[in-house]
Structure 1
């Protein structure tokens, strides 16, 4: 699952100046849903939209620009979603869809927030009315034209009362603001002096529970003054167990330190279960590297000491071994048997045989 949101800042006259950039974004990232704000377009035709998406197997809903600004577009992969209804509001467009694979229902909202105080109040009120719908999970994405605290602006005016209303809206509706990776700010002014985090994903707890781990990343900025932001799931199938651990590993000195150092290291994440999962993943990798060092050459080591034992026994057949060679034979044979025991134990565990 991947949802990409971008304030395109107008497709331009003829709608071709930024067409190639968005088409390349769809080709490289392969989103399940694409949410565009500030298209500054009137009614877009099917063939143009299919070319933008890269396939005709898509659905879409659009809101035309008002005057010389605005305009929103929401495109989705019809092979993944079944859309039951659409909603077009003054400040957003939304679809209610069912995930064909899981059967879960979600409402995806594409937002382009207003700039002035009067419309901002209407903006939050209009959301409060639709967020009361039960039985579905929510994803709200887009350009909110608002920040949550002073740290989300650089060289820009920060108004505390606006941020307070935004935070109250998020808290009131029990939404989760997924942390942004890749960049701190999503919008850069034309002169490069002013920066803000205006774009984000807000999701409901129900939506979080549908996925193993959700990540939001700011992608590279191109022709727009906004970065595309991507919401994707980080689901990884580890198989029936997080990793295998062999009994014979614990006879080697230092493994306890490897485990302690790996587990105590810092791990980012917004959910405790995902942090736990990622710690197991890191520990699996660290133990795998440690195992390569201590047991990666086990077969070749067995062959080496086996050859030493065999050569000494052949020499003993034609003449007695002196004390030095006899001690070497005894030590080599002991090492051979110990390594064979370790190998046999590992093979038994791999075969799940006691």
Structure 2
């Protein structure tokens, strides 16, 4: 299926999930192909950071009858905006992130997020693929040096943000290798400040099962089923938008089981160490 066909699948998915604003990361759609690709999202508004990175990295897409979006800053690693929800007349700040792979390349991102945190004056969410974990427990099958995690930790602390309440998949990415070489990581997350927690008390994140997209998609939902809000969505890589149900059935669940077995072994090893200490 061609890329436009896959984007039609996205439209269908958005309708099923009742989504009014979403982000797409690692789109790999350059400027010359943007008009054709964007035409598949009829009645949606789209902004990208293509002008700041030639490869095409971040799209933010929304329905203008549901949200008013004012983009405040573009960057190679994020798009920062002020959003007005037209349904409930609430305002929040939203930063969609797709961090660079290299530790040193991410340093400007952490500094910029600190600056953004000082500028917002209300509910703020910063979400996306940070290409880094916050702790060793968020990576299985490999290791991340503390020197790589620490800058991210300091940024989160300095910005005064925390993970939103979440359900679903813990690990949001894996390297798709055979089980003995498989690496799982939590690279994608939805971070919010205190003002967000105070304003959106019933909102939580659901991380969908692996296999539907390249990374695990994240959807914001309301726990108040009687007053379900239009939700955000964060997805990764337009190249794998079509659900691969056969592969999910064959590999996805066995991957999850393998990760659970690895974690169980780690817990048992830790418990053994604790028992020896006592």
**Do these two structures clear the TM 0.5 threshold for a shared fold by scoring above it?**
yes
Deviation at 1:178, TM superposition (A): 1.7
Could you tell me how far apart the structure 1 residues matched to 2:100 and 2:203 are? 28
Select 1:59's aligned residue among 31, 42, 45.
Answer: 45
Could you tell me how far apart the structure 1 residues matched to 2:11 and 2:211 are? 12
Deviation at 1:119, TM superposition (A): 1.3
Asked if 1:195 corresponds to 2:181, the answer is no
Deviation at 1:51, TM superposition (A): 2.4
Structure ranking higher in strand proportion: 2
Give the paired residue count: 222
Deviation at 1:141, TM superposition (A): 1.1
Greater length-normalized contact order (CA 8 Å, ≥ 6 residues apart): 2
Which residue number corresponds to residue 27 of structure 1? 15
Instruction: Give the direction of change, closer, same or farther, for the CA distance of 1:234–1:184 in structure 2 (3 Å limit).
Output: same
Could you tell me how far apart the structure 1 residues matched to 2:140 and 2:56 are? 25
Whether the 8 Å contact between 2:111 and 2:155 is mirrored in structure 1 is no
Which residue number corresponds to residue 204 of structure 2? 215
Deviation at 1:37, TM superposition (A): 0.7
Which residue number corresponds to residue 25 of structure 2? 37
Structure 1 residues 217-263: Cα deviation after superposition (integer angstroms, max 9, x where no partner): 1113345331111122212559xxxxxxxxxxxxxxxxxxxxxxxxx
In structure 2, the residue corresponding to 1:224 is in which secondary structure?
Answer: coil
Structure 1 residues 254-311: Cα deviation after superposition (integer angstroms, max 9, x where no partner): xxxxxxxxxxxxxxxxxxxxxxxxxxxxxxxxxxxxxxxxxxxxxxxxxxxxxxxxxx
Whether the 8 Å contact between 2:172 and 2:216 is mirrored in structure 1 is yes
Instruction: Give the direction of change, closer, same or farther, for the CA distance of 1:19–1:158 in structure 2 (3 Å limit).
Output: same
Deviation at 1:146, TM superposition (A): 0.8
In structure 1, the residue corresponding to 2:19 is in which secondary structure?
Answer: coil
Asked if 1:175 corresponds to 2:161, the answer is yes
Whether the 8 Å contact between 1:111 and 1:141 is mirrored in structure 2 is yes
In structure 1, runs of 5+ residues without a counterpart are: 1-11, 239-354
In structure 2, runs of 5+ residues without a counterpart are: 228-278
In structure 2, the residue corresponding to 1:157 is in which secondary structure?
Answer: coil
Deviation at 1:91, TM superposition (A): 0.6
Asked if 1:108 corresponds to 2:97, the answer is no
In structure 2, the residue corresponding to 1:170 is in which secondary structure?
Answer: helix
Structure 1 residues 59-92: Cα deviation after superposition (integer angstroms, max 9, x where no partner): 221122845x451100112122122334211211
- Indicate the RMSD between aligned Cα atoms, in angstroms: 2.4
Which residue number corresponds to residue 276 of structure 1? none
In structure 1, the residue corresponding to 2:205 is in which secondary structure?
Answer: strand
Whether the 8 Å contact between 1:108 and 1:138 is mirrored in structure 2 is yes
Whether the 8 Å contact between 1:211 and 1:235 is mirrored in structure 2 is no
